[in-house]
Amino acid sequence: MQRGRRKPDWLKSRPPSGSRFTEIKSTLRDRDLHTVCEEANCPNMGECWSGEDGPGTATFMLMGDRCSRGCNFCDVETGGMEPLDPDEPANVADAVAEIGLDYVVLTSVDRDDLADGGSAHFAETIREIKRRDPEILVETLIPDFQGDPEAIDRIIEAEPDVIAHNVETVERLQWPVRDRRANYEQSLAVLDRVDRESDIHTKTSLMLGVGEYDHEVYRTLGDLREVGVDVVTFGQYLQPSRSHLDVFEYVHPDVFETWRRVAEEEFDFLYCASGAMVRSSYKAGELFVEALVR
């Protein structure tokens, strides 16, 4: 463990570069599309986008860049919601086809201002991508839709390959980490519904370094398996600005490796990506395909 403001060496990353990176960036600009990869200045862009050892992965952000919630770890602006762009599903699907990705992650801001939480728009984007190429693997990282079962079922019916929903942290720390409208029970219920109502793989992510105890992480792994979650990821929480939640500790790489082993060997998750720089969609395509053929 390392406490304090200075980032340890294991968190330093090289900026992304190369012709593939430039090509993808220019397609996104031409179509005025946003990826979480760029918005969050994710340190894994070089690895994910190039997919050197397997399918390339990118995470598209749907339904605007403003959120109806305000989580204390997240840099997305709160409020001032814009109407949905009806062309976005087709536009994203065209970009995916043009870039030639094999594995796409779709996520969104929370749209509590919309009656269906944006679930129909989300589902339409999945369908548009699959319509162009049924072989593309689509992972959706969905909001909790305030627990609305119809909204969750709408996503299931669009048949993505993976449905992810993040619990973000252990039960005790849901607040202050997440917006007060989010909670542990509700998030487990979302994952549980997907598991009970479909054969679609489920996935969730936790940030470490926000003050969680080991026994709480351990218990969370048990809770997740109980609702049938297949894949879990762990990454280091990094403070986006001074006005966001403080980093409690920088978790050592050996600890991340221990959690990977515990998740895979003791709790039998299909796979666990765990490391300081890991984000929920880290090399998602590569790791998912590898795990399926194991």
Residues near ligand SF4, by CB under 6 A: 36-37, 42, 44-45, 48, 57-59, 67, 69-71, 74, 76, 105, 109-110, 179, 279, 281-282
DSSP structural state of residue 11: G
Q: Which is nearer to ligand SF4, 76 or 263 (CB)?
A: 76
Q: Which is nearer to ligand SF4, 57 or 236 (CB)?
A: 57
Cα separation, 130 vs 97, in Å, equals: 10
Q: Which is nearer to ligand SF4, 74 or 138 (CB)?
A: 74
Q: Which residue has the tokens 């790791």?
A: 287
Cα separation, 286 vs 189, in Å, equals: 28
Q: Which is nearer to ligand SF4, 7 or 197 (CB)?
A: 7
Whole-number minimum distance, CB 102 to ligand SF4, in Å?
A: 13
Whole-number minimum distance, CB 164 to ligand SF4, in Å?
A: 11
Backbone angles phi, psi at 77, to 5 degrees: -65, 145
Using CA atoms in the order 19, 22, 26, 29, what is the torsion angle rounded to 10 degrees?
Answer: 160
Q: How many Cβ atoms sit within 10 Å of the Cβ of residue 36?
A: 21
Three-state SS for 213?
A: coil
Contact call for residues 93 and 127 (beta carbons, < 8 A): no
Whole-number minimum distance, CB 270 to ligand SF4, in Å?
A: 18
Nearest to 70 by CA among 176, 149, 160, 146: 176
Whole-number minimum distance, CB 280 to ligand SF4, in Å?
A: 7
Whole-number minimum distance, CB 39 to ligand SF4, in Å?
A: 9
Beta bridge partners of 272: 232
Q: Which is nearer to ligand SF4, 26 or 265 (CB)?
A: 26
